[in-house]
Amino acid sequence: MWTPSDLITDLDLLALDRLCLTEFGVTVLTDKRQVAAAWVAQRVEQAGYHLWQHAIRREPEAVLGYTGVAFTDYTAAAKTTTDADIALATIYATPSSAAVYVGSRDPFRGVYLGLVDSVNANTCVLSAKIWTGAWTGVTSLVDGTQATAGKALSGGGLVSWQTPDTWVRRTLNNSLLYWAKLGVSSSLTAGTAAAQVSPVVASRLTLPASQYALALLYQESYGSQRGQWQEKATAMFASATEALTVALPLIADEFDLGNDDQVGRADASSIVDSTYLSTWERG
């Protein structure tokens, strides 16, 4: 399914312009990201894809709960939408030694945690580590599960980070995968449980969407901020269009074209008209 919050985050914008928040006096760029995702979505549909088949939120290869004493396999539960079948409060009963491990064949940029009604109401901070030869804290963690500020897992959402080049596979509970280790700072409200746990992988559409969002920011700042922001906006709009033109013939493996909940490489030439791509203009 098409999930703009998975496709583009403020971390993606900061990777292109580390001052894009502070220099313009904003704390989040949700509105710009939403417009940019819609701009990309229209062009993806024009290229012959169905947005509901976009699948960068993947089924995990493994999801394990570790209480500090023993592992419990939640892989099957993580792949369904059955509410409250991943017992987070039970797993994290001893927070200092407990963890939820999420494993995938490929590196991923975050984990979507689906919580509906069985949410946490206690003050709590969520952490994430990946394996680099040792468990290493991720860079620039953004916890999208804080429906209530300061209370991790008070709602469902994306926990995202900057994917490091040093991430390597390791064997855990007999599975050789890329693993993320999710921990909490304190105990959760009794009954806190998740319905889904899904790794979110990188998309080739993230770069053009991020560039377009920044272009919107620069354009809005024209006349109210120092610098040649209109020229910068024009250049960034052009970069976004070019990046999208490059990306579109390559994104077939991001779509579940067979409607079987699996993504695979398809004959992109049957979907993307290269002559059509060459005529696009920013709009």
CA nearest to 120, candidates 193, 47, 52 = 193
Q: DSSP 3-state assignment of 31?
A: helix
Residues 196/82, Cβ–Cβ less than 8 Å: no
Lowest mean pLDDT among 130-144, 194-208, 218-232: 218-232
Q: Does residue 275 register a pLDDT over 50?
A: no
The DSSP element (H or E) to which 127 belongs, if any, is: strand 126-131
CA nearest to 118, candidates 193, 23, 195 = 193
Average pLDDT score over residue span 60-74: 96
Average pLDDT score over residue span 28-43: 95
Mind listing the pLDDT tens digit for each residue in 162-217? 988 999 999 999 999 999 999 999 999 999 999 999 999 999 999 999 999 999 99
Instruction: Please give the mean pLDDT across all residues of the chain.
Output: 89
What local confidence, expressed as pLDDT, does residue 147 receive? 96
Q: Does residue 274 register a pLDDT over 50?
A: no
What local confidence, expressed as pLDDT, does residue 23 receive? 84
Assign 220 a pLDDT band (cuts: 50, 70, 90): confident
What local confidence, expressed as pLDDT, does residue 272 receive? 37
Identity of residue 11: L
Residue partners of 24: CB distance under 8 A and separation at least 6 = 217, 221, 225
Assign 258 a pLDDT band (cuts: 50, 70, 90): low
Average pLDDT score over residue span 94-109: 97
Q: How far apart are CA 37 and CA 42, in angstroms?
A: 9
